[in-house]
Amino acid sequence: MLLSRPSSTIVLIMHPRRKTRKVFVGSVPIGGDAPISIQSMTSTYTRDVDDTVRQIRELATAGCDIVRVAVPDQRDTKALPAIIEQSPVPIVADVHFHFERALEAIEAGVHKIRLNPGNIADRKSVDRVIAACRDRGVPIRVGVNEGSVVERGDKDVRAAQQQAMGGEADGLIQLMVDVLEQYLRIFDENNFHDVVLSAKSIDATLVIDAYRAVADRFDFPLHLGVTHAGPPETGRIRSIAALGSLMAMGIGDTIRISYAADPVVEVEDAKELLCSLGLRNRTEPELIACPTCGRIEIDLIRLVADVRRKLEGIKTPVKVAVMGCVVNGPGEAEGADVAVFAGKGRGVIYVQGEQQRSVSEDDMLDALYEETVAFAARVERGEVSLSNRTVTIAPPDPLPRSDGSIPLTVYKT
């Protein structure tokens, strides 16, 4: 359904985090004063314990804090104890239509349930799930999206909904809030408050406005996400536009970026988003590179890709700059701990603003890596500190000749 809507107001200044209740997913806190956590979901059949544990470990290594697994079948819930025992992070069971799967998952020791009461027709069954979660201290995430709140079976109800919404996005958002309120009434009647909320859409601006409305109405922690975002090539733009805007407004307590791809990519992008917004500290090198232009006289794209692969083994958040020009490069690399500025077949390497050496293009990759490793080791020994954006880099002296070449002695190490 297409909805006409005014453009959302995008707030570019980082606002303080919205205050919410706090819940615990295993040892990971969500909401309150806790840092924003990263979630993802396995793409394996949960009943395959070895495959599922392998992927959970890959996600955890990439920086994932909480992992969700699907449990559509009893074979999946039977596999949970073995999975939970081997998992390095808390596990969430994704339950939709069968309340029995929720009860089995809770009994298996799962750390959180993803459940929508509207998908279970019998209220007594919902009450049983809530009671089991309350007894075990297991939180529940409930969510709505534009696909789930609109009636699919009853044509009369659907028509009434559409008439009430008037074809406007504001009407859909209000419906989402109303449905969440109905769900929360059930939890309140059961004296259960360890709840996390979500309100997703494929439309980035709708996601922004929906979460703003939910944040204004409720004080529960919020799980941010864009539903069925697509492949990473397009989904990352849609997701980051929505989630980055919300977090800049101080909204959001845990996030999942969803792709039709390897879930490890979801975690990598979510981590980079949080680091870019200053909401998570980096634990590995940060690589920056200049935009390509007609001044470049080396294969910069290949060099950047090679540098990225080389840096993967370093576990210190060194800022590394790869610049294809010695004229504008120093200005664009301000704050870099280690930088290379390339000219005509040559490069000048700097470490925290001090020129170290000039090398040929063939030696550039290894030389930059060596300087980065050496600097990271000095940081770990406490001999130097990371730049924290304070490094000023002067252009190579003397400046390049008119043909772009660097008049410095080139030597191999």
Choice among 53-57, 117-121, 148-152, 241-245 with the minimum mean pLDDT:
148-152
Cis ω before 398 (30° cut-off from 0) = yes
SS3 85: helix
Q: What's residue 395's pLDDT?
A: 63
Q: What does DSSP say about strands 254-255 and 91-94: parallel, antiparallel, or unpaired?
A: unpaired
Residues 37, 30 contacting (CB under 8 angstroms): yes
Q: Does the pLDDT at position 149 exceed 70?
A: no
Digit-coded pLDDT (tens) for 279-304: 999 989 999 998 877 778 788 899 99
Q: What's residue 1's pLDDT?
A: 37
Choice among 204-208, 210-214, 307-311, 395-399 with the minimum mean pLDDT:
395-399
Could you state, in order of their start, the residue ranges of all structural domains in the chain?
22-276, 286-380
Distance CA 349, CA 320 (A): 11
| Section 49-71 average pLDDT | 97
Choice among 77-86, 126-135, 222-231 with the minimum mean pLDDT:
222-231
DSSP codes, 92-156? EEE--S-HHHHHHHHHHT-SEEE--GGG---HHHHHHHHHHHHHHT--EEEEEEHHHHS-SS-HH
Distance CA 177, CA 173 (A): 6
The alpha-carbon radius of gyration of the chain (Å, integer) is 25
Distance CA 386, CA 318 (A): 7
Q: What is residue 72's DSSP assignment?
A: -
Q: Does the pLDDT at position 391 exceed 60?
A: yes
Fold of 22-276: TIM Barrel (3.20.20)
DSSP codes, 143-175? EEEHHHHS-SS-HHHHHHHHHHHTTBHHHHHHH
Q: Does the pLDDT at position 147 exceed 80?
A: no
Give the distance, in angstroms, between the CA of residue 362 and the centroid of all CA atoms in the same chain: 36
Distance CA 179, CA 326 (A): 58
Q: What's residue 4's pLDDT?
A: 46
| Section 366-391 average pLDDT | 90
Q: Which stretch of DSSP H or E encloses residue 269?
A: helix 263-276
Give the distance, in angstroms, between the CA of residue 112 and the centroid of all CA atoms in the same chain: 19
Q: What's residue 325's pLDDT?
A: 78
Q: Does the pLDDT at position 13 exceed 70?
A: no
Q: Indicate the burial class of 234 (C-beta count within 10 angstroms; 0-12, 13-18, 19 or more).
A: exposed
Q: What is residue 176's DSSP assignment?
A: H
Q: Does the pLDDT at position 46 exceed 80?
A: yes
Distance CA 286, CA 262 (A): 22
How does residue 409 score in pLDDT terms, banded at 50, 70 and 90? very low
Fold of 286-380: Sulfite Reductase Hemoprotein; domain 1 (3.30.413)
Same fold, 22-276 and 286-380: no
| Section 129-142 average pLDDT | 96
Q: What's residue 10's pLDDT?
A: 47
Residues of the chain with pLDDT > 90: what percent?
A: 63
| Section 304-332 average pLDDT | 87
Digit-coded pLDDT (tens) for 179-218: 999 999 999 999 999 999 999 999 999 999 999 999 999 9
Distance CA 142, CA 113 (A): 9
Choice among 78-87, 146-155, 251-260, 300-309 with the minimum mean pLDDT:
146-155
Q: Which of 174, 177, 170 is nearest to 198 (CA)?
A: 177
Contacts of 108 (CB under 8 A, 6+ apart): 77, 78, 80, 81, 84
Residues 404, 295 contacting (CB under 8 angstroms): yes
Distance CA 256, CA 114 (A): 13
